[in-house]
Amino acid sequence: MKTTHNILFQDARDLKEIPSESVDLVVTSPPYPMIEMWDEMFSHQNPEIQKALACGDGKQAYTLMHEVLDAVWSEVFRVLKEGRFACINIGDATRKVRDDFCLYPNHARIVNYLLNIGFSVLPDILWRKQANTPNKFMGSGMLPAGAYVTLEHEYILIVRKGSKREFKTENEKENRRESALFWEERNIWYSDVWTDIKGTDQKLPNAMSRLRSAAFPFDLAYRLINMYSVKGDVVLDPFLGTGTTTAAAMTSARNSIGVEIDESFEHAICPVTHHIVDFSNDYLYSRLLRHYAFVQNRIQKSGALKYTNRHYDCPVVTSQEQFILLNGLKEVQAHGDNVFDVTYTTKPQTWNLEHASETLVGNKTKRHTKPFQLNMLDAK
Ligand SMILES: C[S@@+](CC[C@H](N)C(=O)[O-])C[C@H]1O[C@@H](n2cnc3c(N)ncnc32)[C@H](O)[C@@H]1O
């Protein structure tokens, strides 16, 4: 099993290298209009933006910044296959331009454009990131009628091109079953408010650390990829930044294409490929351990579960989880021009029981007893 990952350093407003109807999922986060750190980036792409900001016309700058993004959303619509999704992480902006303080509702402006170009809009996810700083309140303090609520959430817009995707052949159905989520993951991942992913908690090794705070967390990209695509699909991120989507696609056994206008990000993206095998295998292992902890707890509380996952010989709640298979990574091969191939194991991986026990209970002296056998936890 192999996946391929392409990184294109170019402007995503014109993606002519990517054929129409060739992409299965878009996961992305654009530069946020009217957030100051992106003023220069937008102005570079349309110098009228700088002029509008300089003369204090916030609404005109906002309109022009969105016109830059609109061109990318049109390309996203073109390259997506029928029945496929785009997941767009976007935050609104609050800003004072001259004396006018207001909210620039980026999410609403983008949804509106996506509807106009033909996407169907689905329920979005509200990603709640708590800012625990004492100065998070803005405006007139304790005095009424002049304070603003704190902006602590972002959106993940979910849209689909065309009607529902179909899985017709036996191979497609089998691949879909292997790509399923665990029941307890479904309950959290498909809820419309995410509070468990922190904006800064990347959990990545140093060499994979983010260059800019604008990177979204690995968990966010990984979840979306696993919720809205199946193994072997092609995932596109037209605003790749530090390469989080590429890394999450590698871990998820999906192919990917990442597009980034700023070539200096090459220095952030390439180290990811050096560490991704160990990082991904640890990540997949932790995912299985969380499932293992969940079923142990559930069995203790409510008794035996009816179904067993065939690959891990592990109890699962529903029949749909019986074939889940997380493919471990074997190696990454770099080709010229920022193309990377990843090879995977096609059998369940065997991990060391002692390490599993420690990770699971968080206490090196304590060992858990196994109420049932797990392939993944078999001692060597
Ligand atoms: C919010 S960041 C994306 C962060 C990314 N999700 C990550 O985890 O690192 C937006 C990125 O879009 C890039 N960008 C802005 N305009 C672009 C364009 N027209 N085409 C391609 N990339 C662009 C910026 O350089 C920036 O790296």
Running DSSP on this structure, what letter comes out for residue 86? E
Is residue 329 in a domain?
Answer: yes
Range of the domain at 180: 2-263
Pocket test for ligand 1, best of 127, 216, 260, 270 (most atoms within 8 A of CB): 260
Length of the chain in terms of residues written? 380
Q: Does 95 fall in a domain?
A: yes
Provide mean pLDDT across the span 332-337.
90
Domain count of the fold of the chain: 2
Task: Say yes or no: 15 and 105 in one domain.
Answer: yes
Can you give the C-alpha Rg of the chain in angstroms?
A: 22
The verdict on residue 72 lying in a domain is: yes
User: Do 104 and 49 reside in the same domain of the chain?
Assistant: yes
Question: Are 199 and 280 found together in one domain?
Answer: no
- 21 C-beta closer than 6 A to ligand 1: no
Sign of the CA dihedral with 10 first, then 159, 129, and 151 last = positive
The answer to whether residues 251 and 290 belong to one domain is: no
In testing the pocket of ligand 1, which one of 240, 244, 263, 264 has its CB within 8 Å of the most ligand atoms? 240
End-to-end CA distance of the chain: 25
Domain boundary among 201, 228, 263: 263
Rounded CA-CA distance 110/116 in Å is 10
Determine whether the shortest distance from the Cβ of 239 to ligand 1 is under 6 A: yes
CB-count burial class (<10 Å; 0-12, 13-18, 19+) for 327: buried
Q: Are 50 and 43 in contact (CB under 8 A)?
A: yes
pLDDT digits (tens, 9 = 90+) for 157-171: 999 999 999 999 999
Q: Which among 10, 261, 264, 270 is the best mutation to test ligand 1's pocket, defined by most ligand atoms within 8 Å of the CB?
A: 261
Query: Are 209 and 255 members of one domain?
Result: yes
- Nearest CA to 245 among 233, 227, 253, 257? 257
pLDDT at 274 over 90: no
pLDDT of residue 158: 98
pLDDT digits (tens, 9 = 90+) for 35-77: 999 999 999 999 999 999 999 999 999 999 999 999 999 999 9
Distance 21 CA to ligand 1 centre (A): 22
Q: Which atom of ligand 1 is nearest to the CA of 28?
A: 6
Same-domain status, 150 and 182: yes
Tell me: do 198 and 229 sit in the same domain: yes
Q: Supply the pLDDT for residue 132.
A: 58
Determine the distance separating the centroid of ligand 1 and the alpha carbon of 12, expressed in angstroms: 9
Instruction: Pick 33 or 349 by higher pLDDT.
Output: 33
Q: Does ligand 1 lie within 6 Å of residue 214's CB atom? A: yes
Cα 323 to ligand 1 centre (Å): 36
Average pLDDT over residues 340-364: 62
- Same domain, yes or no, for 207 and 241? yes
- Stated as kind and residue range, the H or E segment containing 12 is none
The predicted-structure confidence for 304-313, as pLDDT tens digits, reads as follows 999 999 999 9
Looking up tokens 């707890």 gives 297
Is any atom of ligand 1 closer than 6 Å to the C-beta of 216? yes
Residue 350 CA to residue 378 CA, distance in Å, equals 7
Structure tokens at 80: 């997506």
Under the phi-then-psi rule, with left for phi > 0, alpha for psi from -120 to 50, and beta for the rest, what region is 119?
beta
pLDDT of residue 352 exceeding 60 = no
Are residues 17 and 152 both part of a single domain? yes
Q: Are 72 and 13 in contact (CB under 8 A)?
A: yes
Q: Which residue has the tokens 């497609």?
A: 172
- In three-state secondary structure terms, 115 is helix
pLDDT band of 240, cuts 50, 70, 90: very high
Residue 269 covered by a domain = no
Both 196 and 298 in one domain: the answer is no
Pocket test for ligand 1, best of 239, 246, 266 (most atoms within 8 A of CB): 239
Q: 70 in ligand 1 pocket by Cβ < 6 Å?
A: no
Residue 214 pLDDT: 77
d(CA 17, CA 39): 28
Q: For residue 350, what is the DSSP state?
A: P
pTM, to two decimals: 0.91
**Is residue 270 situated within a structural domain?**
no
Residue 202 has pLDDT above 50, yes or no: no
**Is residue 242 a part of any domain in this protein?**
yes
CATH number at residue 119: 3.40.50.150
- Whether residue 376 has pLDDT greater than 80: no
Domain-embedded: residue 303: yes
Tokens of 121: 């809009």
* H or E element that contains 159: strand 153-161
More confident residue, 238 or 149: 238
Say whether both 86 and 234 belong to one domain. yes
Distance from the alpha carbon of residue 72 to the mean position of ligand 1, in angstroms: 11
| Domain identity same for 78 and 7 | yes
pLDDT of residue 351: 56
Asked whether 156 lines ligand 1 (CB < 6 A), one says: no
For residue 330, being part of any structural domain is answered with yes
Q: Is 278 exposed, middle or buried (0-12, 13-18, 19+ CB in 10 A)?
A: exposed
Compute the average pLDDT of residues 259-282: 90
237 CA from centroid of ligand 1 (Å): 9
